[in-house]
A and B are shown apart, each in its own frame.
Chain A
Amino acid sequence: MTMTMNKTLPILDVRNVSKSFTLHNIDGRTVTALEDASFVVHPGEHVSLAGSSGAGKSTLLRLIYRTYSITAGSVSFRLANDEWVDIAQLSDAEVIALRGREIGYVSQFLHAQPRRSVIDLVARAGVSRGMSTADAHEQAGHSLARLGISRTLWDVHTSVLSGGEKQRVNIAAGLISPPRLLLLDEPVSALDPENRERAIEVIADLSDQGVAVLAVFHDLDAISRLASRIILMSRGNVVIDGPVDQVLPQLTPGDVQP
């Protein structure tokens, strides 16, 4: 799929989004995880979500992906035909359709995975986003090589991999034939320095491909190298939202503590 949409128009428009949980089985209390968050993301931008633990970063990613349901506000997404849809109001079937092709999520964990070979897993992700089986297989090989997964591991089952290897496979699967919006939740946290480098390079390429990235890193260095914009959050609120050059100097180590 070619990126033909208008690059100056945002691809994601989050408006006044709030999320609260009602804990019926404790005492019915309400916990607010996110309050009145608003921001936009453009194609090709890499937006970093920074903030200490509990600030609401992962909550935001999950709301966009619809793993969480919204309490208030809207999460507008621009489709390839320039039509806007509010992800929060879509039917489950529509969300499943979007998740397949348009919006991707790479989490920290490789869980509930089938007994499938490494290359198969990555290739399948490509096929689900419209690649031919042959192309997907070839591209999967490239991605895995770039991420330092040696060819000898390509045919083994993912269950025998180390944590770091699994995470890199996860990244490869998330980024192959990338969707137009990619949500990354601490994708390099379990990687040793050398592999972290490889991963960062691969993620950096996404902007050139016009992919909009919204990412959580607990890593000032990664943020400085990847982000074009930073959104700092604290206790469920957006505190700062600005270009990386402006915001980065204002961040303290506490703001990126896992």
Chain B
Amino acid sequence: MSQTEEHMTSIHVPSPIIQVRNLGKYYGNFDPAMIERTGPEHGTARDHVTASIVAAWGVNFDVAAGEALGIVGESGSGKSTVLRCIAGDVAASTGDVRLAPFEDGNVNILDLDPSARRQLRINTLSVVYQDPAEGLALGVTAGGNIADPLTAAGWRNFGSIRDRARELLARTEVPLDRMDDIVRNFSGGMRQRVQIARALANKPPILLLDEPTTGLDASVASGVLDLIRQLLEELQVAAIVVSHDFGVIEMLTERCLVMQHGRVVEDALTDQLLEDPHHPYSQKLVAAART
């Protein structure tokens, strides 16, 4: 896999785990000219001629092991679309996405059929959704939700499954005496912790987080955020964190993309984005976050 930016120095840069090139997703009919008719300069992702929506276009980035890349933007920016295209929840319209742990990065995962994409989600790539109900079966116990990816990966020993579930729930600070309670009876913050535990069940090298703390009460959110930060450091996964909240981005990521109307408008070190944003939209977002 190639590097995003050419560098001619001897500084050792870890090779990418996730490589995304030209990722694009549109809804409606395709007309090549609609790309130029949409985007930040036009203030919209919707093409007035075809009524198609260019939800995301021309997205490029790499993520290395142990690195968390942020994607920040307001709703409609395309950030969640990008995440869902990589996750396989949404079929991308175009693009090349390679994952180092899968076939050594030699296969564009966007070309795989849905059943192969589902296989990826068992061992290679996990997703934590904003709404825990999307990543959990609410009528199943906390332990059962963790048993799901384990059995999908071939675990057949009840005792081992229970042990691993306990380990993960302890790590995500879910009280073990609630392991056999159904998730519907958990608070939002607890549900999110169970979702994280479940996402980590098969030790995925890649983790995608979509607004992981949005919707949680502030005090609860900070605990979950802290947990995520610790896990990212411990596990050295390659992570993509999508959020509209700069606090989350600041805490979890070292590099960040800013998206607006489906396009990436800025790609920078996170601290640089927060202190010296270049693009007018980035400046606006950062200024709003600071107040």
Which A residues lie at the B interface, using CB under 8 A?
21-25, 62, 66-69, 79, 81, 83, 85, 90-98, 112, 114-116, 124
- Compute how far the CA of A76 lies from the CA of B11 in the bound complex, rounded to whole angstroms: 14
Also in contact, A91 and B272, with CB within 8 A (given A25-B283, A114-B226): no
The interface size bin for chain B is 20 to 34
Contact A91:B5 (CB < 8 A) given known A67-B269, A96-B254, A114-B229 = yes
Instruction: Check A68–B272 contact: CB distance below 8 A.
Output: yes
**Residue from the list B10, B64, B250 in contact with A93, Cβ < 8 A:** B64
Question: What are 18 A-B residue pairs whose CB atoms fall within 8 Å in the complex?
Answer: A24-B283, A25-B283, A67-B269, A67-B272, A68-B275, A69-B272, A69-B276, A79-B9, A79-B10, A85-B9, A90-B9, A91-B3, A93-B3, A95-B269, A97-B14, A112-B250, A112-B251, A114-B230
Shortest CB–CB separation between residue A88 and chain B, in angstroms? 12
Contact of A92 among B9, B268, B280 (CB under 8 A): B268
Identify whether the interface residues of B are mostly helix, strand, loop, or mixed. mixed
Give a binary string over B219-230; 1 marks a CB under 8 Å from any A CB, 0 the rest: 000000010011
**One of A68, A91, A115 near B226 (C-beta < 8 A):** A115
Query: Which residues of B line the A interface, CB within 8 A?
Result: 3-5, 7, 9-14, 62, 64, 67, 226, 229-230, 233, 250-251, 254-255, 267-269, 271-272, 275-276, 278-280, 283-284, 287
**When the two chains form their complex, are residues B11 and A85 in contact, meaning their CB atoms are under 8 A apart?**
yes
Specify which of B9, B268, B272 is in contact with A94 (CB 8 Å cutoff). B9
* Inter-subunit contact A94/B7 (CB<8 Å): yes
**How far apart sit A29 and B209, CA to CA, in the bound complex (Å)?**
37
**Bound complex: CA of A112 vs CA of B248, how far in Å?**
10
CB distance from B287 to the nearest CB of A (A): 6
Whether B278 and A91, one on each chain, are in contact in the complex, defined by CB atoms closer than 8 angstroms, is: no
Q: How far is the CB of A33 from chain B (nearest CB, A)?
A: 10
B13 pairs with A94, CB closer than 8 A:
yes
Known: A69-B276, A91-B7. 20 other contacts (CB 8 A): A21-B276, A23-B283, A62-B276, A66-B272, A69-B278, A79-B11, A81-B10, A83-B10, A85-B9, A85-B11, A91-B5, A92-B5, A92-B268, A93-B14, A93-B64, A93-B255, A94-B11, A96-B67, A97-B11, A97-B12
